[in-house]
C-alpha cells in the first residue's frame, strides 16, 4: 500500500493563486520544491499530479504559502512579474536578469514603453507591435460559446502576432499564414487551449514554430521575400535580424521585444536557461556589431516595436480562420477515408483473386548424363569410295545379276 500525504493538495487553480499571492515565479517555486520549472507549470495547469515525496514537499510548501498569505491579509491573486499600471497608451516591463552558468548576470536596463492599441478616434496611430503581458491577457470568459471565446482570443492576439512573425521571417505572406495556421491548430485543440493558463502564449509558440519551420525554404512562394521596408534604418535592422540563426532571433524577440522573463523564454523555446542567456547575449552582440546605436537594450526594444508597427499587416477575420481550419480538417479527413477505402478495396481484390490451393512450382530443367552423343557420318576413305562405286556398277550391269525366269 502507498502512503498518502497528510496534507491534501488544492486544485490546480488554487495552486497557482497561492504562488501568485506570494509574488513567486514558477522558477522560484520550483527551486524551493526541488523540481523543474516545467514540472511546476504542469502541476498548476492540471496536466500532471505530484506523487510520493514530491507530493508531500509540494503540499507542505503550498500550506506554508497559504498561511503566509493569510497572515498578510491578502486573498487576491498577484502576478509573478510586476509591471507598472499602464498609462493612456504605454506599458512598461520590469528589468530582467539573464543567468549565465548558474550565476546571475548583470541586470538589463528597463525596456522602454511602446504604444498599445489606439482608441477608435485616432485611426492614424500605429497598432501595438506586441501583445500585453501574461497578466494582461483575457481571462476565462464565462458564459461564452467556444466560437465566441476563440474570436475574442484571436482579436486580442492576432494583430500583434502577425507583426512578430514578420520580424522572425521578413515575409508578409508567411507571417499571416503562420498566425492563421497557429489559430487553426488552436481551434482544433480548443479544449486544451481553453484550459491552458496562458492561451496567448500557446498560440504565440505555435505561430513562431510555424514561421521558423525550415521546410518553407522548399516552397516557391516563400523563397523570395517581399519589398523591404522603405525606411533605411528599418531595413538595416530587419537585415540584421534575418542574419541571426532562428533560435537566436526568436530569443531576442521574446526577451527584448515582448519582454518575457528569461525562464519563460527558455521554456517557450525548449532550451535551458543558461543556453537561452547565451543565445540572447550572442544576438545582442551581433546586432550591436552591425548597428552600434542599438547596443542599449532600451533602444533595441523601442526599435523592434517601431519596426513591427511600421508594417501595415492585417490579420484575417476570425470566422475565416475558423472556417479555413474546418475545411482543411474535413479535406484531410476525407482524404484519409478515401485512402483507407482504396487500401481496403485493393486488399479485398488481392484476396479474391489469390489461388485457394497450393500449386507446386515447375522445377527447373536438369541436365541428363550418360547418353552418348550423336555421331554424324564422316568423310569416306578412298577404298570405301571405290567399293561403293563398284557395288553400284555391278548391281546394275554385272553378269551375275539374278533375274526371275517364267516356267
Domains of the chain: 12-72 (1.10.260.40), 125-134+142-321 (no CATH)
Residue in the block written with cell 502576478: 79
List, in order, residues 6 or more apart from 263 with CB less than 8 Å away. Answer: 25, 26, 27, 37, 273
Give the whole-angstrom CA distance, residue 25 versus residue 266. Answer: 14
Give the whole-angstrom CA distance, residue 197 versus residue 135. Answer: 10
Q: What is the pLDDT of residue 395?
A: 54
Q: What is the pLDDT of residue 284?
A: 92
Give the whole-angstrom CA distance, residue 120 versus residue 134. Answer: 24
Full-prediction pTM beyond 0.85? no
Phi, psi of 372 (to 5 degrees): -70, 145
- 384, three cell numbers: 570405301
What number of other Cβ atoms are within 10 A of residue 96's Cβ? 22
User: Do 152 and 246 contact (CB within 8 A), yes or no?
Assistant: no
Q: What sign results for the dihedral spanned by CA atoms 127, 129, 130, 136?
A: negative
Q: Using alpha carbons, select from 70, 74, 71, 39 the residue that is nearest to residue 57.
A: 39
- 141, three cell numbers: 470568459
CA 138 to chain CA mean position, Å:
25
CA distances from 366 to 360, 373, 374, 387 (A): 17, 17, 19, 45
Q: Using alpha carbons, select from 225, 114, 221 the residue that is nearest to residue 169.
A: 225
Q: What is the pLDDT of residue 336?
A: 92
Length in residues, the chain: 407
Residue in the block written with cell 485512402: 339
List, in order, residues 6 or more apart from 110 with CB less than 8 Å away. Answer: 92, 93, 94, 95, 298
User: Do 190 and 326 contact (CB within 8 A), yes or no?
Assistant: no
Q: What's the CA angle centered on 296, arms 103 and 292, to 5 degrees?
A: 120
Give the whole-angstrom CA distance, residue 190 versus residue 196. Answer: 10
User: Do 108 and 97 contact (CB within 8 A), yes or no?
Assistant: yes
- 75, three cell numbers: 486573498
CA distances from 306 to 100, 165, 170, 176, 363 (A): 30, 15, 15, 19, 83
Give the whole-angstrom CA distance, residue 303 versus residue 257. Answer: 9
DSSP lists the bridge partners of residue 18 as none
Q: What is the pLDDT of residue 224?
A: 65
> DSSP assignment, residue 134?
G
Give the whole-angstrom CA distance, residue 91 versus residue 125. Answer: 16
Give the whole-angstrom CA distance, residue 34 versus residue 89. Answer: 41
Q: What is the pLDDT of residue 3?
A: 46
User: Do 101 and 109 contact (CB within 8 A), yes or no?
Assistant: no
User: Do 80 and 26 contact (CB within 8 A), yes or no?
Assistant: yes
The one-digit pLDDT tens for each residue of the chain (407 residues) are 444 446 788 888 888 888 888 888 888 888 888 888 888 888 888 778 888 888 888 888 888 888 888 887 644 433 433 333 333 333 333 333 332 223 333 333 333 323 333 333 333 344 445 544 433 445 445 567 888 888 889 888 888 898 998 899 888 888 888 898 899 889 888 888 888 888 888 999 999 998 888 887 777 666 666 677 888 888 889 898 999 999 999 999 999 888 888 888 988 888 898 999 999 999 999 999 999 988 888 888 888 888 888 777 777 787 888 788 788 888 888 999 999 999 999 999 999 998 888 888 888 888 777 777 766 677 888 888 888 888 777 655 555 656 666 76
Give the whole-angstrom CA distance, residue 103 versus residue 86. Answer: 32
Q: What is the pLDDT of residue 285?
A: 92
Phi, psi of 99 (to 5 degrees): -110, 125
Amino acid at each position: 500500500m502507498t502512503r498518502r500525504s497528510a496534507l491534501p493538495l488544492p486544485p490546480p487553480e488554487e495552486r497557482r493563486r497561492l504562488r501568485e499571492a506570494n509574488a513567486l515565479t514558477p522558477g522560484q517555486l520550483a527551486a524551493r520544491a526541488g523540481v523543474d520549472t516545467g514540472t511546476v507549470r504542469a502541476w498548476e495547469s492540471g496536466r500532471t499530479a505530484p506523487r510520493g515525496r514530491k507530493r508531500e514537499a509540494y503540499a507542505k510548501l503550498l500550506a506554508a504559502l497559504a498561511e503566509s498569505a493569510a497572515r498578510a491579509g491578502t486573498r487576491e491573486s498577484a502576478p509573478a512579474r510586476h509591471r507598472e499600471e499602464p498609462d493612456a497608451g504605454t506599458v512598461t516591463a520590469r528589468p530582467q536578469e539573464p543567468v549565465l552558468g548558474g550565476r546571475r548576470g548583470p541586470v538589463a536596463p528597463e525596456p522602454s514603453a511602446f504604444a498599445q492599441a489606439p482608441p477608435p478616434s485616432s485611426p492614424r496611430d500605429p497598432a501595438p507591435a506586441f501583445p500585453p503581458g501574461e497578466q494582461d491577457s483575457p481571462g476565462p470568459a464565462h458564459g461564452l460559446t467556444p466560437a465566441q471565446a476563440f474570436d475574442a482570443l484571436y482579436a486580442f492576439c492576432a494583430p500583434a502576432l502577425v507583426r512578430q512573425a514578420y520580424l522572425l521571417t521578413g515575409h508578409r505572406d508567411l507571417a499571416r499564414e503562420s498566425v492563421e495556421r497557429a489559430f487553426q491548430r488552436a481551434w482544433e485543440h480548443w479544449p486544451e487551449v481553453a484550459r491552458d493558463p496562458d492561451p496567448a502564449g500557446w498560440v504565440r509558440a505555435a505561430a513562431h514554430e510555424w514561421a521558423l519551420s525550415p521546410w518553407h525554404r522548399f516552397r516557391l512562394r516563400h523563397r523570395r521575400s517581399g519589398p523591404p521596408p522603405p525606411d533605411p534604418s528599418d531595413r538595416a535592422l530587419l537585415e540584421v535580424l534575418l542574419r541571426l540563426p532562428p533560435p537566436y532571433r526568436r530569443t531576442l524577440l521574446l526577451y527584448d521585444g515582448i519582454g518575457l522573463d528569461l525562464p519563460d523564454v527558455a521554456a517557450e523555446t525548449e532550451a535551458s536557461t543558461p543556453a537561452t542567456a547565451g543565445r540572447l547575449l550572442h544576438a545582442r552582440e551581433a546586432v550591436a556589431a552591425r548597428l552600434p546605436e542599438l547596443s542599449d537594450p532600451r533602444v533595441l526594444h523601442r526599435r523592434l516595436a517601431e519596426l513591427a508597427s511600421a508594417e501595415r499587416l492585417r490579420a484575417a477575420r476570425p470566422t475565416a480562420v475558423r472556417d479555413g481550419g474546418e475545411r482543411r480538417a474535413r479535406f484531410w479527413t476525407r482524404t484519409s477515408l478515401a485512402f483507407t477505402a482504396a487500401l481496403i478495396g485493393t486488399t479485398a481484390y488481392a484476396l479474391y483473386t489469390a489461388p485457394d490451393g497450393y500449386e507446386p512450382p515447375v522445377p527447373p530443367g536438369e541436365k541428363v548424363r550418360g547418353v552418348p552423343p550423336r555421331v554424324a557420318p564422316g568423310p569416306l576413305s578412298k577404298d570405301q569410295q571405290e567399293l561403293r562405286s563398284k557395288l553400284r556398277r555391278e548391281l546394275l550391269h554385272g553378269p551375275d545379276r539374278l533375274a526371275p525366269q517364267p516356267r
